[in-house]
Amino acid sequence: MDYLLHIGIIFLVYAILGVSLNLVVGYTGLLSVTHAAFYGIGAYATALLLTNFHVGFFISLVLAICAAAIAAFFIGIVLSRFRGDYYALVSLGFNVIVFSVLLNAESITRGPLGIPGIPRPELFGIEFQSHGAMFFLALVLFVIVYGAARFLVRSDFGRALRAIREDEEALLVFGYHTRAYKLFVFVAAAAMASVAGSLFAVYVTFIDPKTFALFESIFILSLIILGGLGSLRGAVVGAFVLILVPEMLRSFGFPSDIAGQMRELLYGFVLVVLMLYRSEGMLGEYKM
């Protein structure tokens, strides 16, 4: 049972990441490859606050969201000046920068040694030590993030995001400040990603920079491409498939190194098939 709960928690972490990234890539049409950076900022902010300052988890969660939002605001100001491939390249660069800071700021982050001994959350004297308690916490956080994302995409703001994706120039003609819209959705997505980072840090109780490297951003991006761009449900489905498949491969009795290679092969095969026959993904509304 604990194993199934563990898979469920990891799935919910990536579902949060997928839902939040889909706001930027799926609904707004901005190819961001820097989501793992905000995932990492949330994880490190929570880990440092819990281990060094002994702040409660829920306070550290709020502060981690603020840290990611502030970082995203300044990064987003720069990114809002770019479009298309240039946007993707600059966002990729920011992911590399954040990873380098986490890796080399050893006096703060302990560099490649990582931060061990991160305490589990506690609320009113109740400690979230069991897998069941952590799954419940992860589910609550996922529902909050999903609800916030759904509210955004169903509002007038969400309709403006779709219009930016379809024809930003036309929206500019009607007097919309599209840069402000793109900046806001970028900051909102980063704040949501930091929630996943905080949850991951207190669940695993150890983090290091390699978890938030560029490959992680690519994995999250592949998740929403698989599930469907412009679909919150698609992001959840994509997370389910890409988290569940590697675990299914374990049941075939492959050695761990072969299972890892099979996973990469399967990811590539699925993405190629989707690009050829259903480029909008399983439940998506837009093509990549």
Q: Which pLDDT tens digit goes with each residue over 86-142? A: 999 999 999 999 999 999 999 999 999 999 999 999 887 778 889 999 999 999 999
What's the pLDDT score for residue 226?
87
Task: Please report which residue ranges of 110-231 form alpha helices under DSSP H.
Answer: 131-154, 156-173, 178-204, 214-227
pLDDT at 280 over 80: no
Q: Do 162 and 155 meet the contact criterion of CB atoms below 8 Å apart?
A: no
What's the pLDDT score for residue 1?
80
pLDDT category of residue 254 using cuts at 50, 70 and 90: low
Whether residue 204 is contained in a domain is answered as yes
Whether residue 14 is contained in a domain is answered as yes
Q: Percent of the chain scored above 90 by pLDDT? A: 69
What's the mean per-residue pLDDT of the chain?
90
What's the pLDDT score for residue 122?
87
CA 5 to chain centre: 20
* Lowest-pLDDT choice from 10-19, 135-144, 194-203, 219-228: 219-228
Q: What are phi and psi of 2, to 5 degrees?
A: -60, -35
What's the pLDDT score for residue 167?
86
Type of residue at 92:
L
Whether residue 245 is contained in a domain is answered as no
* Short-list 36, 38, 33, CA closest to 288: 33
- In sequence order, the β-bridge partners of residue 122 are 127
* Total domain count, the chain: 1
Q: Do 88 and 221 meet the contact criterion of CB atoms below 8 Å apart?
A: no
Whether residue 230 is contained in a domain is answered as no
Whether residue 203 is contained in a domain is answered as yes
pLDDT category of residue 244 using cuts at 50, 70 and 90: confident
- When pLDDT is averaged across residues 11-16 and rounded to a whole number, the result is 97
pLDDT category of residue 287 using cuts at 50, 70 and 90: low
Which has more confidence, 109 or 251?
109
Whether residue 264 is contained in a domain is answered as no
Which has more confidence, 175 or 33?
33
Type of residue at 110:
R
> Per the structure block, which two tokens stand in for 143?
């529902």
Q: Do 94 and 34 meet the contact criterion of CB atoms below 8 Å apart?
A: yes
pLDDT at 58 over 90: yes
pLDDT at 255 over 80: no
What's the pLDDT score for residue 156?
93
pLDDT category of residue 277 using cuts at 50, 70 and 90: confident
What is residue 286's three-state secondary structure?
Answer: strand
pLDDT at 219 over 80: yes
Q: Which residue range forms the structural domain that includes residue 7?
A: 2-213
- When pLDDT is averaged across residues 171-179 and rounded to a whole number, the result is 85
Contact residues for 264 (Cβ-Cβ < 8 A; gap 6+): none
- When pLDDT is averaged across residues 178-206 and rounded to a whole number, the result is 96
Q: What is the pTM assigned to this prediction?
A: 0.93
For residue 287, give Cα distances in angstroms to 60, 234, 247, 276, 281. 38, 13, 29, 11, 8
Whether residue 24 is contained in a domain is answered as yes
* Lowest-pLDDT choice from 20-34, 162-176, 194-208: 162-176
CA distance 29 to 22: 9
Burial classification of residue 241, based on how many CB atoms lie within 10 Å of its CB (0-12 exposed, 13-18 middle, 19 or more buried) = middle
Whether residue 232 is contained in a domain is answered as no
